[in-house]
Chain A
Amino acid sequence: MGILLNEESRIVVQGITGFQAGVQTWQMLDAGTRVVAGVTPGRGGEWVMDGKVPVFASVRMAVAATGADVSVIFVPSHFAQDAIFEAIDAGVKLIVCVTEGIPVHDMLQVRHYLDRQDVVLIGPNSPGVMTPGESYAGVIPANIAIKGGVGIVSRPGSLMYEVLNVLKRDGVGVSTCVGIGSDPVKCTGYVEILKLFENDPHTEKVVLLGEIGGIEEEEAAEYISEMTKPVIGYIAGKTAPVGRRMGHLGAIIEEDVGTAQGKIDALQRSGVQIARHPEEIPQLLTR
Chain B
Amino acid sequence: MRLYEYQSKLILAKYGIPIPRGRVTSTASEARQIADELGGKVVVKSQVLTSGRGKAGGILLAKNSRKAQQFVTQLLDMEIRGYPVRRVLVDEAVQIADAWYVAVCIDRKMRAPVLLASSLKNNSNGDEMEALLTLPINPLLGIKDYQIRDIAANIGLPEKFQKQFIKIVHGLWHAFFRMDATLIEIKPLVVTDDGRLLALDALMIVDDNASFRHPEFSEYWDLGLAPRPEVEARKHGLDYVKLKGEIGCMVNGAGLMMAVMDMIDQFGGQPANFLDVGGGAAPEKVAAGFRLLLSDDDVKAILVNIFGGLTSCDDVAEGILIALQERKLRVPIVVRMEGMKAGEARKKLEDAHLVLADTLMGAVQKTIAYSTGGWNGDLA
Say if the beta carbon of B215 comes within 8 Å of chain A: no
Question: What are the residues of chain A within 8 A of B255 when measuring CB–CB?
Answer: 154-159, 182, 209, 211, 236-237, 251
Binds B, one of A35-43, A97-105, A266-274: A97-105
Residue on B nearest A102 in the bound complex, by CB: B209
| Interchain CB contact (< 8 A) of A140 among B140, B182, B241, B309 | B309
**What 0/1 pattern do residues 320 to 364 of B give for CB contact below 8 A with A?**
000000000000000000111000000000000000000111000
> Is A173 an interface residue, CB under 8 A from the partner?
no
Cα–Cα, bound, A103→B176 (Å): 13
Measured CB to CB, the nearest residue on chain B to A103 is B210
Do residues A156 and B106 form an inter-chain contact, with CB atoms below 8 A? no
Q: Is the interface of B mostly helix, strand, loop or mixed?
A: mixed
Partner of A78, one of B212, B243, B257, B265: B212
A-contacting residues, B288-328, CB 8 Å: 307-312
Q: Is B262's beta carbon under 8 Å from chain A?
A: yes
Chain A residue at minimum C-beta to C-beta distance from B244: A241
Q: Which residues of chain A in 126-153 are interfacial with respect to chain B, using CB atoms and an 8 Å cutoff?
A: 127-128, 138-141, 144
Asked whether any CB of chain B lies closer than 8 Å to the CB of A24, the reply is: yes
- Does residue A51 face the partner (Cβ distance < 8 Å to B)? no
A239 and B339 within 8 A (CB):
no
- Encoded as 1 (CB less than 8 Å from any B CB) or 0, chain A from 87 to 108 comes to 0000000000010111111001
Contact of B256 with A by CB under 8 A:
yes
Least CB distance from B248 to A in Å reads: 15
- Our pick among A101, A141, A182, A276 for the contact of B266 (Cβ within 8 Å) is A276
Which of A24, A104, A113, A245 meets B209, CB within 8 Å? A104
List the A residue with the shortest CB-CB distance to B274: A246
In this complex, what residue of B is CB-closest to A183?
A: B209
Q: Would you give the 0/1 interface string for B106-122, flagging 1 where the beta carbon is closer than 8 Å to chain A? A: 10110111000000000
Chain A residues, CB < 8 A from B241: 241, 244-246
A111/B361 contact (C-beta < 8 A), A155-B255, A277-B259, A277-B263 known: no
B-contact bits for A28-63, CB 8 A (1 contact / 0 none): 000000000000000000000000000000000000
A residues in contact with B84, CB < 8 Å = none
Determine whether the beta carbon of A238 is less than 8 Å from that of B180. Answer: no
Given A20-B280, A248-B254: A214 and B360 within 8 A (CB)?
A: no
Which one of A141, A187, A245 lies within 8 Å of B340 (CB-CB)?
Answer: A141
Q: Which residues of A contact B209 (CB under 8 A)?
A: 77, 101-104, 249
Whether B140 and A251, one on each chain, are in contact in the complex, defined by CB atoms closer than 8 angstroms, is no
With A and B bound together, what is the CA distance between A234 and B111 in angstroms? 24
* A162 proximity list for chain B (CB < 8 A): 256, 259, 307, 338, 360
Residues of A within 8 A of B266 (CB): 276-277
- B138 in the interface (beta carbon within 8 A): yes
Most chain A CB atoms below 10 A, which of B111, B263, B311: B111
Contact call A219/B109, Cβ cutoff below 8 A: yes
Q: Which of B182, B255, B263, B279 has the most CB of A within 10 A?
A: B255
Kindly identify which residue among A112, A158, A186 contacts B307, using a CB–CB cutoff of 8 Å. Answer: A158
Residue pair A144, B339 in contact (C-beta under 8 Å): yes
Q: Are B207 and A159 in contact (CB under 8 A)?
A: no
The answer to whether the Cβ of B239 comes within 8 Å of any Cβ in the partner chain is: yes
CB distance from B367 to the nearest CB of A (A): 15
Is A165 among interface residues, defined by CB-CB distance under 8 A? yes
**Within 8 Å CB of B180, what residues of A?**
103-105
User: Nearest CB to that of A278 among chain B residues?
Assistant: B259
A182 touches which of B212, B254, B340 (Cβ 8 Å): B254
Contact with A along B234-257 (1 / 0, CB 8 A): 000001010100000001111111
Are B254 and A156 interface neighbours, CB within 8 A? Answer: yes
B108 and A111 contact, CB distance less than 8 A: no
Q: How far is the CA of A140 from the CA of B212 in the complex (A)?
A: 28
Q: Which of A101, A139, A236, A249 contacts B258 (CB 8 A)?
A: A236
Name the one of A161, A247, A278 contacting B254, with C-beta atoms under 8 angstroms. A247
The verdict on A246 contacting B257 (CB below 8 Å), with A105-B177, A186-B111 known, is yes
Q: Does A184 sit at the interface, judged by CB under 8 A?
A: yes
Q: B188 within 8 Å of A by Cβ? A: no
A274 to B256, CA, bound (A): 17
A284 within 8 A of partner (CB): no
Report Cα–Cα, A41/B111, bound state, in Å.
31
Q: Which of A144, A186, A237, A244 has the most CB of B within 10 A?
A: A237
Query: A240 to B244, alpha carbons, bound, how many Å?
Result: 11
Q: Chain B's nearest CB lies how many Å from the CB of A207?
A: 14
List residues of chain A with CB within 8 A of the CB of B108: 184, 214-216
What are the 8 A-B residue pairs with the smallest beta carbon separation, nearest first? A156-B255, A247-B254, A158-B253, A103-B210, A141-B339, A236-B258, A236-B259, A247-B239
Contact sample, A vs B, 11 pairs, CB 8 Å cutoff: A158-B251, A158-B253, A158-B255, A184-B111, A186-B111, A234-B259, A245-B239, A247-B257, A248-B239, A248-B254, A279-B361
Task: List 8 extra interface pairs beyond A105-B139, A157-B279, A236-B258, CB under 8 A.
Answer: A103-B210, A104-B182, A104-B207, A127-B309, A144-B339, A239-B271, A247-B278, A249-B209
